[in-house]
Amino acid sequence: MRCSNLANGLQTSPIITLAAEINEKIQRGEKFYNLTIGDFNPKVFPIPEKLKLEIQAAYDASQTNYPGAFGALNLRESVSRFLEGDADLAYTPNDILIASGGRPLIYSAYRAVVNPGEPVIFPVPSWNNDYYTHLSSGKAVILETRAENYFMPTAADIKPHLKDAALIALCSPLNPTGTVLSQDGLAEICDLVLEENRARGKDRKPVYVMFDQIYWLLTFGDTRHHTPVNLRPEMRDYTIFIDGVSKAFAGTGVRVGWAYGPSDIIKKMRTMIAHMGAWAPKPEQVAVGNFLADRAAVDGYLDWFRKEIRSRLEGFYKGFIALKQKGHRVDAIEPQAAMYLTVQLNLAGAVTAEGQRLEHNADVHRYILDEAKVGLVPFSHFGASESSNWYRLSVGTCRLQEVEVIISALDAALNKLKFN
């Protein structure tokens, strides 16, 4: 026992382990299609040219000292204007907190509102809520979601667990599914939260909603993004938003994120960020502020980016439906948002050409890795049960011409399977 109980209880992410294995295959020279990571290949999806030039200019101008505790003023002003214009959300620069991406903001949000042992409600599959609950010493209340609800939690799922909860963690569009909370579904959750907080009164700490909308600018077709505050203005007192440049502008390595919400919570989060030193680099902050202020640059990039992401998602979706129509036991949910496609491999029980039976979903995953040379992430890696046969497919490193090749590789691998 050389470490704390907290450290000993924290497990390595299976997604990181999977990524390391795939990278080893690629480094050995294997032709491999890595659709696992929620990142971008900068050669395929570069950050906006205007943003890159602004970063370079900020370094040339020696903007390399400490940023302010809340973040660079020009960035907070730009975020405030951007939210008002594009999301119909009115938050002043003083309501906005900047940090080095979304992760420290999520961690500080948990720590700001969750006492040890208090319930934290979150759906699975979802990204890292189990780890943040552990790090904040909360009590995980896990809601296993269903395909028929696009893997989104419902008010009915949440209601039995709400009485003593400290936090409900929601993400829409959702990582890993690329699906969104419907207007009615989110409104029902908001009504449930408002009813609970009215019942608690002023003598008890309210239940908060952490609303991660890092993918909100990446919605496709008729899909619409909704927020708690847009649907129920009273939710402003109980909603902590997480946002940033990492996904909508392919800036995963730029490390600029922002949170906004109730002023007393944001101030406590600011103090935690300051003590952690988890500020975004000042040159990047100044650069993102200047970039967001340039509407032509922002709109031009988003138009291109959405088109490129959507074309890949639709290509894979059509490919999986074609495989299904051939009689293969696969399926997919039509893409709604983000950079992810939800796909199903209902292959447990199949026998390979070598006579090996794929007894479990872990065997299926291994078969697709080894035979098709395609990397997908099982929903079980996002907290769902081991019996789930659904997977995340990410297009952030995929070239458009590879879509057909990957579908062909999957077709060939599936053709080798037999069912008794």
CB 27 within 8 A of CB 369: no
Reported confidence tier of residue 29, pLDDT bands at 50, 70, 90: confident
Q: What is the reported pTM?
A: 0.95
List the structure tokens of 233.
């203005």
> How many domains are contained in the chain?
2
293 and 305 co-located in one domain: no
Reported confidence tier of residue 17, pLDDT bands at 50, 70, 90: confident
Quick one: DSSP state of residue 418?
B
pLDDT, mean over the chain: 96
**Which pLDDT score is estimated for 392?**
98
184 and 288 co-located in one domain: yes
Q: What is the pLDDT of residues 294-345, one digit of tens each?
A: 999 999 999 999 999 999 999 999 999 999 999 999 999 999 999 999 999 9
Query: CB-based contacts of 209: which residues, under 8 Å, 6+ apart?
Result: 167, 168, 169, 170, 189, 190, 193, 228, 235, 238, 239, 240
Query: CB-based contacts of 283: which residues, under 8 Å, 6+ apart?
Result: 55, 58, 59, 63, 64
Rounded Cα–Cα distance for residues 119 and 167 (Å): 7
In a domain, 223, yes or no: yes
Rounded Cα–Cα distance for residues 411 and 372 (Å): 8
Rounded Cα–Cα distance for residues 195 and 334 (Å): 34
10 and 91 co-located in one domain: no
Residue at token pair 């502020």: 289
233 and 342 co-located in one domain: no
244 and 337 co-located in one domain: no
Rounded Cα–Cα distance for residues 237 and 261 (Å): 7
170 and 39 co-located in one domain: no
Q: What is the pLDDT of residues 255-289, one digit of tens each?
A: 999 999 999 999 999 999 999 999 999 999 999 99
Last residue within a domain, chosen from 248, 279, 298: 298
Query: DSSP per residue over 136-165, as a string?
Result: TT-EEEEEE--GGGTT---HHHHGGG-TT-
37 and 58 co-located in one domain: no
3-state SS assignment for residue 126 = coil
Q: What is the pLDDT of residues 38-87, one digit of tens each?
A: 999 999 999 999 999 999 999 999 999 999 889 999 999 999 999 999 99
Which residues sit opposite 345 in a β-bridge?
A: 330
**Which pLDDT score is estimated for 40?**
96
CA separation, residue 362 to residues 175, 278, 290 (Å): 21, 37, 47
Domain CATH code at residue 60: 3.40.640.10
In a domain, 184, yes or no: yes
Q: Categorise residue 134: left if φ over 0, alpha if ψ from -120 to 50, beta otherwise.
A: alpha
Over 90: is that where the pLDDT of 25 sits? no
List the structure tokens of 283.
């040159």
26 and 59 co-located in one domain: no
In a domain, 420, yes or no: no
Last residue within a domain, chosen from 298, 325, 358: 298
24 and 72 co-located in one domain: no
Over 80: is that where the pLDDT of 1 sits? no
Long-range Cβ pairs for the range 397-402 (8 Å, 24+):
397/34, 397/35, 397/37, 397/39, 397/40, 397/41, 397/44, 398/33, 398/35, 398/44, 398/312, 399/44, 400/308, 400/311, 400/312, 400/315, 402/33
**Which pLDDT score is estimated for 77?**
98
In a domain, 251, yes or no: yes
Last residue within a domain, chosen from 298, 318, 340: 298
277 and 363 co-located in one domain: no
Over 90: is that where the pLDDT of 12 sits? no
Residues in the chain: 420
| Domain containing residue 374 | 5-45+299-415
What percent of the chain shows pLDDT beyond 70?
Answer: 100
Amino acid at 62: S
290 and 353 co-located in one domain: no
**Which pLDDT score is estimated for 100?**
97
Domain CATH code at residue 352: 3.90.1150.10
232 and 289 co-located in one domain: yes
Which residues sit opposite 330 in a β-bridge?
A: 345
In a domain, 198, yes or no: yes
Over 90: is that where the pLDDT of 14 sits? no
Over 90: is that where the pLDDT of 420 sits? no
Dihedral sign (CA 250, 253, 254, 257): positive
Average pLDDT of the residues in 192-213 = 96
In a domain, 172, yes or no: yes
Rounded Cα–Cα distance for residues 12 and 134 (Å): 13
Query: CB-based contacts of 373: which residues, under 8 Å, 6+ apart?
Result: 30, 31, 32, 33, 409
Q: Can you say how many angstroms the Cα of residue 179 is from the centroid of all Cα atoms in its chain?
A: 11
